[in-house]
Structure 1
């Protein structure tokens, strides 16, 4: 898989759930929402009070849950993990004490449930279920967790919660499933000097006189358990108003100014979303809380009214932040705020339809970024994100957008590129098909009809279809209920009477099954002649179709790149497109580059076609096009590992192609320079440094050495890039100096960056030192796992073998939501056949049989990479021989 222009919010992790098959609409409607709990009791309100003991990583909790018993029962079953119960009692909601029962309590750790068994059946009615219990505070981002971080004043510890997907059960005994919506009141006892934050504003604070205070928050709206949030720490908070809504950001003390861009952006986004959704944001406040550290599972979480975002994705640190970081901060904020409607106000019935949350928020963030920051030209990011999804969707281990989820592990694995990026791409395609106004009208109707309730995908499709007056349901089902990527083959029969006739044939693009019988989709196709302002549209249905495109000349199919399909041109048509490549719009240049790469790597067109296009790309092409080409060159370079002579020849070509582009923009930013140019500067320095460009490496080293005496040597927007080139090419002395810098650093965000850089060294001995360092307490509890996975980028075999050999230690440093895919992911970029057996052996020994898709996907990626090296690189090398590489 090559690096591509994937949006910042992409969670580039291969997920797994049980394979789903396409169902008819009738069959879909007949499927009852999944539950792992009995349906005979339903909660309506949780009243929670707890006392965290941060120093001992434990807490005491009390909860009274208002429940409705729907059928007589002797058992109440709910979710609970790592809890001990001191007392449990059920009383009538009316307060009538004539019926009260203290049940027997049994805990099933494997099922993550607690069962309360009563001596007599509990009659139908309303009750209060009260519990005193104790729980654990984690050091990873699961449930209630603690983060330790460095400041100039010394070590600090803050508390946060992360409950998506199945981790509210680590904090409250609860019906921890999205369909069991309820209201919540939360009360916490915390140190007097700390700030406490939850979904709703503080309703009351009581000083307890012992250095602590009791904070009670206002009651929440009706919501799913995974959206509850709490945090406490030594925070600063800044606010702004959007109408009657208080929008806030909270950070560790002294850093709130670094969140100002996020705050201002949140106000603008919230205002835009109120208009777009046609339903006003319903809570009185919306905070975004910055946490130091990180997670292997997520960068931000959309808790209603209290978004949690790790510092690396929220703060703009003046010493290391870049224009790329600024775009990421905006994009992630836009994504999480979109969830306040799609996910929080209206929630999927079960995790099968997770894409309703994540695909829509991904699409909405892209739309909003394009609208509010056109200077960034982020429309190209949607093409890169779609390409990433297609790469995962083109192997046998893929799954439909609407997927079958049955176990807790499968819930966590559902957060992948199919859910996020394919979901977003399908929305983008359907919006283009029905029109932006009709799409918005359908969304508004959906929001109003289903507010504070749960839905399945067809609830959305029905509203879109009604608003559009066009048949959307069948197309939507084709792309969401079956997996895979359509392939449109294109042949032209010439231009007659000012129109170019196209013959279109639909097949399927796969990376690992060339003989596979193609699935069938109804594919919306848009085509235009290069340079024309007029397009032609059709729906390819039944496997083939024809289209007359106004104008004569090279034709681009999937013009504007809104379609979710690969385009394979007949050789004559591809030659015309290649010859006119410089005249194409940047978005079509990127789409054609992506298709040529993917189809070339699978042998469906010459692998060297991508190099032809890269050679035809003008120096003044959009910076993001050159960024994508640089990424592709890095990927090809990795394929040449172990073949020094051919790698040297490829590097000579790649450097010669990229160097003139870099020479044009140089090391120093120009006044008024656009952000995409600044981002390209970093991309090219990083790529040329990894390709062994002697001049770039020397200049990076000079600047690193000069930083103490020359304040201009490492400007903030290049500091990470320069350090990256130095770290990648480090010798022992340089690595030791970087390590010393990391130890001495007191700004946690910078410290985290330095520990990550220690893990990218090409030198295998230095990579081994990074792995050993990751198992110590020094980097911080949430940095260790990412250090190991960063080593895997250069040394997959070394990292995989090390992690498996030290599994007992590594397991403690990976958040539980990521465990089943973490280890397979370490080996997924290997080119060694033996890695296939290693990943399979690990999965067989340590991953449940129904949860092995990440391992199977990693194996498929290794096999694909080996095939590319063996079967495609010879054509690349032959092209280089012919073209002076």
Structure 2
């Protein structure tokens, strides 16, 4: 686990406490940094790296040379850069002009600080130099730095190498200024086994067989970019290509899997064309590859390396024997996300990890927008509500943080990759685009791209360009939603409808799950309201209150279209009208209202049974995504009854009565010309009804499993039901299938299924199996996490008891988050203390946010079980069945 500097941790804690209690930013407030944060001295700056790497995949070592062109800006006795797990065999500094003698420095490596310092016998004068280094390093087995993945094939077991440098792991392969603001160009050379393919950011310019079983591959110089975007992979690969607007688009897979990447290849070309048009700046590299890797990470699924996106196979390949419509949509969405980064993140990069959301929030929003535009048949626009809910679940507790957050250490940077950064960032963009208009927003983005290409930025650089393009006061609203944490809540009351208009009174509060009575922060909140069938009306709630006249006399929806990032709490009379007219609402507003009511009910701000009223008011033929969301929420509510069989049975009778008629309409087997959202709903309902113990679904799943009737679209869902209800004999049958399987995608899935059983004894067997070498180095952590879904206490206790073994099976960027998240679904009040004890013992003080989030979630769940379920029980007693 990475260590952190005491001073940095103290500063981070101070800043975090201040941010949590901060008042809203004043108008035109500057960003809370006078300069970019750094962990390295600023007196030496790199401009170009010539790097040669010779990996030895067999013994997991690497040998490297790096000649770094650099500029000394102030006289200094030494040069400090980032390096981790490296041994230097030589170092020489020469003036860039070739004049003057070469200097040989003393070398001091500090693995705790992740630095190497080269000290000279006299201070270096300002000027240009070349630092030549020879070194050796390590190849890992988890996705950090240069790492190895072992995978099974029909021809035997093979090993491939890949890099993963975000956020701070380029230093494991290249001694470097491993911070985003230190942009430079790179020329990479790799010496690899002859017959294997090497892939990097740029095309290869020369390939030379060295005659000793190795081949040297040199790649073209890269554009100016941050270290974390550099990429190298080596293995028994195949590559397919297509062309789009002068760019060679490629996919790279293990040999024999290329056909499964065809959809990703075609989609990438479509997305590139769309982004060239949207951004107004052409993609600047000659090629764009997407490289597939077997295995998995607990930290990420794909990475936006410039010109060479890395994606795990489970998120890039479509195997017809196991892939579903949901998989297809995910492949497209992830590719769209990573390609968006080629502009937002790669061409223009945040100055420091404080503004990570500029990369991730924008790519999340751009992928959502582009998926809906290029594949309207999927009707994915409703997914924006679910994305927003993911952020709000984290943003409603005391341990939340602003979108623009203060980061001081490597561990804190790793923890910045969360739902606030991704989903809240995306939701804020969606809200602001709705406020200024799509054309003005795009024009602002285009101006931002042109002005800051190949450079680094902070959030205000974007806001200024948007505001200039829109001619509207964007900066104040943007600051409210990005520089302070939390969720606005609008309390809504309506007067009588007069003259064909309904007058709304809006009062701004704050939604929180764990701080009742908290003094609310203040936001300027853009609001869109409309009555059923009426025209939308827009306003901005300022100073905490607003009045709004809305055309029409039907029930009024505040946050119509669900572009706003806030909760809406209707007065009882208004909610009654919404409930009665629920079937007439647009689908996205049905979904938004249901999610608000669920969250508000679980937080005690309205009756929790109001959600069940909406379920019963939902037409059977409602949008498939509405019923998919209901199925997920009913499963979540069912989990609160864990350990109380009688009450759970009563709730399940209700849940099955709602879902079974919808499933009867959908059926087990696809119909000709069936809409894609119906295909997704089918698998959602099979898994939900299976989890709820519906006898008919469980029996049919067992029949199909026994008969071998498992088409790709149903295979995962049927096996999920089988595994959940498995006895020892069935579990062993699945285990035997996993051991015999030679296709990595299918094999990985089977090991996760072994971990999803509701039988505690079999769950323990899965945990024990995860500690062996059998599942594969990157599957073990996923198995334990899967067990935690149904057995959080068992999984957490097991993981902590075997922490030293499990640490080797989790990528280091994930460890401080991995263990606390195992406990998230616990209903045991004592678990909060266990998570706290774990954090005290093993996590640096400034890096305990994941532990704090888990503790908050456990306390919330315990409170829901105690305080909210009685109201649900009472409603169920009066339910007519």
Q: TM-score, normalised by structure 2?
A: 0.97
Report if aligned partners of 1:17, 1:850 keep a CA contact under 8 Å in 2. Answer: no
Report if aligned partners of 2:45, 2:70 keep a CA contact under 8 Å in 1. Answer: yes
Match of residue 873 from structure 2: 877
Q: Shift in Å at residue 16 of structure 1?
A: 14
Distance 1:556 1:792 in 2: 38
Q: Shift in Å at residue 29 of structure 1?
A: 6.4
Report if aligned partners of 1:16, 1:852 keep a CA contact under 8 Å in 2. Answer: no
Q: Shift in Å at residue 284 of structure 1?
A: 0.1
Match of residue 693 from structure 1: 694
Distance 1:330 1:456 in 2: 29
Distance 2:105 2:212 in 1: 35
Q: Shift in Å at residue 31 of structure 1?
A: 2.0
Matched, 1:805 2:806: no
Match of residue 660 from structure 1: 661
Report if aligned partners of 2:248, 2:286 keep a CA contact under 8 Å in 1. Answer: yes
Secondary structure of the 1:42 match is: strand
Secondary structure of the 2:777 match is: coil
Match of residue 418 from structure 1: 420
The 5 A counterparts of 1:764-779 are 764-779=760-775
Q: Shift in Å at residue 110 of structure 1?
A: 1.2
2:42 to 17, 39, 57: 39
Match of residue 346 from structure 1: 348
Q: Shift in Å at residue 615 of structure 1?
A: 0.4
1:824-858 residue CA offsets vs partner (Å, 9 max, x unmatched): 11111100011011000000000000110100000
Matched, 1:85 2:88: yes
Q: Shift in Å at residue 884 of structure 1?
A: 3.2
Match of residue 556 from structure 1: 557
Q: Shift in Å at residue 674 of structure 1?
A: 1.1
Distance 1:244 1:485 in 2: 45
Report if aligned partners of 1:17, 1:410 keep a CA contact under 8 Å in 2. Answer: no
Q: Shift in Å at residue 649 of structure 1?
A: 0.4
Secondary structure of the 2:560 match is: coil
Report if aligned partners of 2:47, 2:68 keep a CA contact under 8 Å in 1. Answer: yes
Match of residue 328 from structure 1: 330
Q: Shift in Å at residue 17 of structure 1?
A: 9.3
Distance 1:178 1:418 in 2: 20
Distance 2:743 2:15 in 1: 40
Match of residue 10 from structure 2: none
Equivalent residue pairs, number: 864
Report if aligned partners of 1:17, 1:413 keep a CA contact under 8 Å in 2. Answer: no
1:670-723 residue CA offsets vs partner (Å, 9 max, x unmatched): 01111110111001000100111111101111111111xxxxx11101100100
Matched, 1:61 2:70: no
Match of residue 853 from structure 1: 849
The 5 A counterparts of 1:389-788 are 389-532=391-534, 534-707=535-708, 713-788=709-784
Distance 2:468 2:602 in 1: 42
1:342-401 residue CA offsets vs partner (Å, 9 max, x unmatched): 000000000000000000000000000010011111011111000110111010000000
Distance 1:870 1:390 in 2: 22
Secondary structure of the 1:76 match is: strand
The 5 A counterparts of 1:176-215 are 176-215=178-217
1:542-580 residue CA offsets vs partner (Å, 9 max, x unmatched): 000000001111100000000000000000000000001
1:789-827 residue CA offsets vs partner (Å, 9 max, x unmatched): 100000001000000000110000000000001101111
Match of residue 3 from structure 2: none
Distance 2:158 2:623 in 1: 45
Match of residue 364 from structure 2: 362
Distance 1:78 1:336 in 2: 29
Secondary structure of the 1:500 match is: strand
Distance 2:788 2:695 in 1: 25
Distance 2:101 2:446 in 1: 47
Distance 1:512 1:323 in 2: 38
Report if aligned partners of 1:16, 1:853 keep a CA contact under 8 Å in 2. Answer: no
Using a 3 Å threshold, how does the CA distance of structure 1 residues 665 and 141 change in structure 2: closer, same or farther?
Answer: same
Distance 1:432 1:30 in 2: 29
Report if aligned partners of 1:503, 1:547 keep a CA contact under 8 Å in 2. Answer: yes
Report if aligned partners of 2:25, 2:480 keep a CA contact under 8 Å in 1. Answer: no
Report if aligned partners of 1:824, 1:858 keep a CA contact under 8 Å in 2. Answer: yes
Q: Shift in Å at residue 26 of structure 1?
A: 4.2
Q: Shift in Å at residue 23 of structure 1?
A: 4.8
Distance 2:880 2:58 in 1: 65
Report if aligned partners of 1:727, 1:735 keep a CA contact under 8 Å in 2. Answer: yes
Gaps of 5+ in 1: 1-14, 708-712
Report if aligned partners of 2:298, 2:781 keep a CA contact under 8 Å in 1. Answer: yes
Aligned-residue Cα RMSD (Å) equals: 1.1
Report if aligned partners of 1:299, 1:310 keep a CA contact under 8 Å in 2. Answer: yes
Q: Shift in Å at residue 99 of structure 1?
A: 2.5
Q: Shift in Å at residue 18 of structure 1?
A: 3.8
1:110 to 112, 129, 134: 112
Report if aligned partners of 2:139, 2:148 keep a CA contact under 8 Å in 1. Answer: yes
Match of residue 28 from structure 1: 31
Report if aligned partners of 1:17, 1:851 keep a CA contact under 8 Å in 2. Answer: no
Gaps of 5+ in 2: 1-12
Q: Shift in Å at residue 27 of structure 1?
A: 4.3
Distance 2:422 2:32 in 1: 23
Runs of 4+ residues deviating >4 angstroms: 21-27
Using a 3 Å threshold, how does the CA distance of structure 1 residues 16 and 299 change in structure 2: closer, same or farther?
Answer: farther
Matched, 1:72 2:75: yes
Secondary structure of the 1:717 match is: helix
Using a 3 Å threshold, how does the CA distance of structure 1 residues 615 and 16 change in structure 2: closer, same or farther?
Answer: farther
Distance 1:865 1:132 in 2: 54
Match of residue 234 from structure 1: 236
2:126 to 115, 124, 127: 124
1:729-769 residue CA offsets vs partner (Å, 9 max, x unmatched): 00000000000000000101000000000000000000000
Distance 2:121 2:347 in 1: 39
1:866-885 residue CA offsets vs partner (Å, 9 max, x unmatched): 00000000000000001135
Distance 1:103 1:473 in 2: 49
Report if aligned partners of 1:17, 1:853 keep a CA contact under 8 Å in 2. Answer: no
1:514-538 residue CA offsets vs partner (Å, 9 max, x unmatched): 1100000000000000122x11111
2:381 to 361, 379, 401: 379
Secondary structure of the 1:31 match is: coil
Match of residue 3 from structure 1: none
Report if aligned partners of 1:488, 1:566 keep a CA contact under 8 Å in 2. Answer: yes
Match of residue 101 from structure 1: 103
State the structure with bigger RCO (CA 8 A, min sep 6), 1 or 2. 1
Distance 1:34 1:757 in 2: 44
Distance 2:274 2:15 in 1: 35
Report if aligned partners of 1:16, 1:414 keep a CA contact under 8 Å in 2. Answer: no
1:819 to 801, 815, 818: 815
Distance 2:274 2:670 in 1: 33
Q: TM-score, normalised by structure 1?
A: 0.97
1:49 to 44, 47, 52: 52
Report if aligned partners of 1:17, 1:403 keep a CA contact under 8 Å in 2. Answer: no
Q: Shift in Å at residue 192 of structure 1?
A: 1.0
Distance 2:127 2:764 in 1: 62
